[in-house]
Amino acid sequence: MDKNRLRTLTEPFKIKMVEPLKVTTENYREKTLKEAGYNTFLLKSKDVFIDLLTDSGTGAMSDKQWSGIMMGDESYAGARSWEHLESVVKELTGMPYILPTHQGRAAERILYSILGGKDKVFISNTHFDTTRANIEYTGAMAIDIVCEEAKDNQIDLPFKGNIDLLKLEELIQQYGSVSIAAVIMTVTNNSSGGQPVSMANMKAVRKICDNHGVLMVIDGCRIAENSYFVHHREKEYSHLTYEEIAKEMLNLGDAFIMSAKKDGLVNMGGLLTVKDEALSVKCKNMLIISEGFTTYGGLSGRDMEALAIGLKEVFDKDYLHYRIRSTAYLGEHLRAKGIPVVWPIGGHAVYIDAKKLYANIPVNQYPGHALVCDLYLKGGIRCVEIGSVMFGKYDENGELIPAANELVRLAIPRRVYTQSHIDFVLDVFDDILELTEKAEGYKITYEPPFLRHFTAHFEPINL
């Protein structure tokens, strides 16, 4: 048993500025949820008490980052803040060509519109939703091949974010290496429970890509969190610092995509880095057309300054320990209450198995979505479904082809909530446990063609 388990967590920072939270009633929340078309993405944040919708861009910056904001150089070309960011990212990735973007999906759109197109295939441990959307938008196909162990969401194994190496070989043989646009390693594996990827798995992917002349992309927006797991779970790397591990891992890739809104510890920003000069030229052309000049992309000077500082702070050992343990604290306590959580707990979020918790709701009535709504109604907690609302498709008769899992993600913003906020979330789950048998399913009343979970409207089935 982990000696840290279930112990009080002490945040390794103190609070210098506060943002008040509005306390609301269940009646009030019934009204606001209905007005939002029963889609928590469409709620106003002022009506949310604890916002666990995402860990993306929701973190708190440090005093050093805020002073960096004041020092930002807003020159159009060759800004000091760009030089600072570029040098930090070059050192971290070992890649020579660094492109700043306004967020991760802008980097994805640039890279995948160049690599993608009809007849192209991307293979990943698991494509994140914006990754898949950007790939499919080019006409290409995105195939997920997470390791078999990941499909058992209870088995206690250290690296359930890994890719299935045998399937990777098979798929490359099947489609032919010229059709494979890239292998994308998502680190940590966001859509598969936030589980880490081992260094051994990354090295094996590198070797397979080398053997077949296939490009390897690292979608590494949680590279620091992944490094924590590698350090603690992969013996060969326990003597390296978190930053050294990240450097070694990122160096394996041909390209790196980062949503800086995660481990960049900033509220907005993204990065695309590549090793190959010819590819970098194509990317830079796209960057200039759609994001901005090469020395700022989609970012202002102050944003680049804060990101350069955040990319160093995120590897602080006390911060990372607190970060990973505070996520585990929520997950371990939920599990102790009998809530079915994806196990082991990942880096940035706790995932609840709604198919198990709301076993009476069939998948075509979206049990994950029902849990998301109930958490809001009972406690003003906002979170997101990662199941058939997000990844479901329709067959030719319009019947739902469900996603493999019906998960609900409680994502933890970085350095934002204290342990007592998390203890409140745990209390709300006591209410949820009381109503699981009465919980009702939902139907979709409006949906757009791509990324429908962001803007779809719903209605309770028994309304």
Ligand X SMILES: *Cc1c(COP(=O)(O)O)cnc(C)c1O
Contacts within 8 Å (CB) and 24+ apart, 449-457: 450/133, 450/137, 451/129, 451/130, 451/133, 452/389, 452/390, 453/39, 453/41, 453/129, 453/384, 453/385, 453/389, 453/390, 454/41, 455/39, 455/41, 455/42, 456/37, 456/39, 456/389, 457/37, 457/38, 457/39
Nearer residue to ligand X within complex by CB, 215 or 370? 215
- Looking at the Cβ atoms of 76 and 454, the one nearer to ligand X is 454
Nearest residue (CB) to ligand X, 218 versus 334: 218
| Interacting residues toward ligand X by CB under 6 A | 56, 103-105, 128, 130-131, 186, 190, 219, 221, 259, 261, 270
Report which residue's Cβ sits closest to ligand X: 104
Name the minimum Å distance from CB 190 to ligand X: 4
Beta carbon of residue 275, minimum distance to ligand X (angstroms, whole number): 20
Of 393, 424, 408, give the one whose Cα is nearest residue 358: 408
Q: Are strands 442-446 and 393-394 parallel, antiparallel or unpaired?
A: unpaired
**Shortest spacing between CB 348 and ligand X, in angstroms:** 8
| Minimum CB distance to ligand X, residue 167 (Å) | 20
Alpha-helical segments (H) within 21-62: 26-35
Pick between residue 128 and residue 391 the one whose CB is nearest to ligand X: 128
The least distance separating ligand X from the CB of residue 130, rounded to whole angstroms, comes to: 4
Min. distance of Cβ 57 from ligand X in angstroms? 7
Q: Measure the CA–CA gap between 369 and 386, rounded to whole angstroms.
A: 9
- Cα–Cα distance between 192 and 344 in angstroms, integer? 12
Choice between 221 and 408, CB closer to ligand X: 221
Give the nearest distance from C-beta 221 to ligand X in angstroms. Answer: 5
By DSSP bridging, strand 393-394 and strand 270-274 are unpaired
Nearest to ligand X of 219, 332 (CB atom): 219
Cα atoms in the 13 Å half-sphere on the side-chain side of 386: 24
Report the SS3 class of residue 276.
Answer: coil
CB of 199 to ligand X, least distance (A): 18
- Kindly report the CA angle at 130 between 125 and 136, in degrees rounded to 5? 80
Closer to ligand X by CB, 219 or 374: give it: 219
Instruction: Compare residues 58 and 365 and give the one whose CB is closer to ligand X.
Output: 58
**Alpha-carbon torsion 206, 209, 210, 214, what sign?**
negative
Structure tokens that stand for 213 in this block: 């002349």
Are the C-beta atoms of residues 351 and 407 closer than 8 Å to each other? yes
Q: Minimum distance from CB of 387 to ligand X (Å)?
A: 17
CB of 380 to ligand X, least distance (A): 24
CB within 8 Å of 200: residues ≥ 6 apart: 234
Nearest by Cα to 231 from 257, 214, 249? 249
Q: What SS3 class is residue 62?
A: coil
Q: Closer CB to ligand X, residue 54 or residue 365?
A: 54
The residue (of 349 and 444) whose beta carbon lies closer to ligand X is: 349
Give the three-class secondary structure for 411. strand
> Encoding tokens for residue 7?
């112990």
- What are the DSSP E strand ranges found in 260-395? 270-274, 349-353, 381-382, 384-386, 393-394
Residue 194 corresponds to which tokens in the numbers above? Answer: 């936030």
DSSP type of residue 346: -
Residue 368: CB minimum distance to ligand X, A? 18
- Whichever of 115 and 339 has its CB closer to ligand X, that residue is 115
